[in-house]
Amino acid sequence: MAPTDIIDKLAGIEPGSALDGIRARRLQARENAQKSYLSLFEPIDTGDFSLLERAAVAAFVTGLHGESPVAAFYRDKLAATSGGAALLDAIDAEIARGKTSGPYGSFPAGPLSIENTAGLIFRVSAASKSGLGTRLVAALEHAHLLVFRPRDAASSDMNALLAAGWSNTGIVTFSQLVAFLSFQVRVVSGLRTLAAVNA
Amino acid sequence: MSATVNPPVAFTQDELGWVSWIEPLPEAELTERHFNGLVDRARAKSEYFRLLVRDPEVLEARTKTDKDIFYNVADGLPRAERELAAAATSRYNGCIYCASVHARFASTYSKRREDVQKLLDEGVDADLGERWNAVVKASVALASTPIAFGPENIAELRSAGLDDAEIVDVINGASFFNWANRLMLSLGEPSK
């Protein structure tokens, strides 16, 4: 049996369906979206970003997008990861506190300033901090920024991650993970919508 | 590094530079594993790719996803409209660097430079005609969090003449830029 393609699975695309045929015409994109998933969640090196941290950030990021098969998938992944079950309550609580609507944020001062839109600046609650630890607290706060107000990102945010114990390489993989999930959750949503219209 | 940055304050089709906030790998330290991750060896000259190549496996897979979504035009959506989806997503998320690159591509392939500039100047509500409006609106709905893409977007794309394969290209192109924008915006900044 061929390994499960995660986007197909989460979007409910059946082999032989019309959407399966359309996806097959972008075979390299399909295979490499899957390889991206595997290199982020089954990496060859976890030294800079542990599997537990990856699962916790993924559950948080996809949970912030609202209820969906993608959010349920990564919540289950966190529950199944060693040490993950103990983090579920804190992640759920922070998702509930962090949910809002985006994108918002500020542009560089100038003609675009009239488009600046204020919104939630998320900080992990005191109650969740001890269970999550310094690295994950910094990661969730940065992930929230990337999900909802990416245009607010600044060099000081990199310094906050470095100060919390993240390495340069860990920051790159972490950024890829949040950004990849921003892609994956949208492809799944778009394909599910198209499949539902055609059903 | 930041002393040399002259950040643009408006969306533009001009060529911009990009400066990393954290340390890219030095060219001299790149191994075969890194060159595989870069896909194109010439990317070793780019600060952005020498930063992303700190995780070569993810970079390689991401680059190949990108190339197929945007360059595989044997069928599906014309290249200009894939680039329009990328530019609209970048305009909406606020990525001045990505918008500059893909607005330029959209202009090149569509020969509609003034309409592309209107998107940059007026934002995603600019009136660009039925077909482009539908592509921009679908891209914006996908980029919103929570995701606002619904059956009405598909109906609009269809009435503008897109078939399902072309609609999947809009979904792929717009979704991919939610990946790209978040890397460019969070790891460094554009420079004029």
What pLDDT, in 10s, does the model give residues B140-185? Answer: 999 999 999 999 999 999 999 999 999 999 999 999 999 999 999 9
Q: How does residue B115 score in pLDDT terms, banded at 50, 70 and 90?
A: very high
Mean pLDDT, chain A, whole residue set:
97
pTM: 0.98
Chain B from 124 to 143: CB within 8 A of any A CB? 142-143
Please tell me the predicted confidence (pLDDT) of residue A3. 74
* Tokens standing for residue A6: 């995660």
Mean pLDDT, chain B, whole residue set:
96
Please tell me the predicted confidence (pLDDT) of residue B131. 98
Contact A137, A170 (CB under 8 A): no
Please tell me the predicted confidence (pLDDT) of residue B4. 67
**Per-residue pLDDT averaged across B65-90, rounded?**
97
Q: Is B58 within 8 Å of A191 when comparing Cβ atoms?
A: no
Please tell me the predicted confidence (pLDDT) of residue A1. 55
Q: How big, in percent rounded to 5, are the helix, strand and coil portions of chain B?
A: 65, 5, 30
Contact B154, B167 (CB under 8 A): yes
Q: What is the pLDDT of residues B4-52, one digit of tens each?
A: 689 999 999 999 999 999 999 999 999 999 999 999 999 999 999 999 9
Euclidean distance between CA atoms B61 and B51, whole angstroms: 15
Contact A77, A199 (CB under 8 A): no
Q: What is the pLDDT of residues A138-159, one digit of tens each?
A: 999 999 999 999 999 999 999 9
Amino acid at A71: A
Please tell me the predicted confidence (pLDDT) of residue B2. 47
Report yes or no: A58 at the B interface, CB cutoff 8 Å.
Answer: no
Give backbone dihedrals phi and psi of B53, rounded to 5 degrees, phi first.
-75, 0
Please tell me the predicted confidence (pLDDT) of residue B61. 98
* Tokens standing for residue A10: 């989460």
Chain A from 125 to 154: CB within 8 A of any B CB? 142, 145-148, 150-151, 153
In this predicted structure, the answer to whether residue B1 has a pLDDT above a threshold of 80 is no
The nearest CA of chain A is from the CA of B111 a distance in Å of: 26
Residue of A nearest to B121 (CA): A112
Nearest to A108 among B7, B67, B186 (CB): B7
Give backbone dihedrals phi and psi of B190, rounded to 5 degrees, phi first.
-75, 160
Q: Is B182 within 8 Å of A150 when comparing Cβ atoms?
A: yes
Please tell me the predicted confidence (pLDDT) of residue B3. 53
**What angle do helix axes B130-143 and B79-93 make, rounded to 10 degrees?**
50
Report yes or no: B152 at the A interface, CB cutoff 8 Å.
Answer: no
Partners of residue A111 in chain B, C-beta under 8 Å:
9-10
Q: What is the pLDDT of residues A93-129, one digit of tens each?
A: 999 999 999 999 999 999 999 999 999 999 999 999 9
Q: Is A185 within 8 Å of B151 when comparing Cβ atoms?
A: no
CA distances to A96, A198, B113 from B162, in Å: 38, 14, 22
Contact A136, A52 (CB under 8 A): no
Please tell me the predicted confidence (pLDDT) of residue B5. 83
Q: Is A44 within 8 Å of B176 when comparing Cβ atoms?
A: no
Report yes or no: A169 at the B interface, CB cutoff 8 Å.
Answer: yes
